[in-house]
Amino acid sequence: MLEKNRLGAAPRVYFRPEFKNCPHCDSKLRRTHTAWEKKIVTRDGIIHAWSMAYASKNLDCSHAGVAYKSAEAEMLSMKHSSYGYDVLALVGELRFKQHRTVAEIAEALAGPITSDDKAY
């Protein structure tokens, strides 16, 4: 069985919603909980991403209790996956456009990304 933290130490990056006020009542949002946190492998390295959920402070808001999260954090990787979309796109490019073997793809991912590996 794989270790849960097999990716090792990585810099922590905290994400919060892109807006500070509730889009429905304009009251300030407050942090409520950690929506998720995981280590994500990107082409630029590994990050320990923390998506912080925020909700409206206004209890009379029509959307009270709705948790707002960072769109940027949601665009990093799929749910339950520790690989970034940029890595998945590169693997798809290498496999289906350049017809590389699994061993060649593993080799390309292990080393520095060259212009031959570039996904467009």
**What residues make contact with Zn ion under the rule CB under 5 A?**
22, 24-25, 56, 58, 61
Q: Which is nearer to Zn ion, 52 or 91 (CB)?
A: 52
At 103, list the tokens: 């061993």
If residue 41 lies in a helix (H) or strand (E), which one and from where to where?
strand 29-42
If residue 73 lies in a helix (H) or strand (E), which one and from where to where?
helix 71-74
Residue 28 Cβ vs Zn ion, minimum distance, rounded to whole Å:
10
Q: Which is nearer to Zn ion, 24 or 97 (CB)?
A: 24
Residue 66 Cβ vs Zn ion, minimum distance, rounded to whole Å:
8
At 76, list the tokens: 């990093």
Residue 9 Cβ vs Zn ion, minimum distance, rounded to whole Å:
38
The residue with tokens 């520095």 is: 112
Q: Which is nearer to Zn ion, 51 or 56 (CB)?
A: 56
49 forms beta bridges with 13, 38
User: Collapsing DSSP states into helix, strand and coil, what is residue 51?
Assistant: strand
- Please spell the DSSP secondary structure of 84-97, one letter per residue: BHHHHHHHHIIIII
Residue 19 Cβ vs Zn ion, minimum distance, rounded to whole Å:
11
Q: Which is nearer to Zn ion, 64 or 88 (CB)?
A: 64
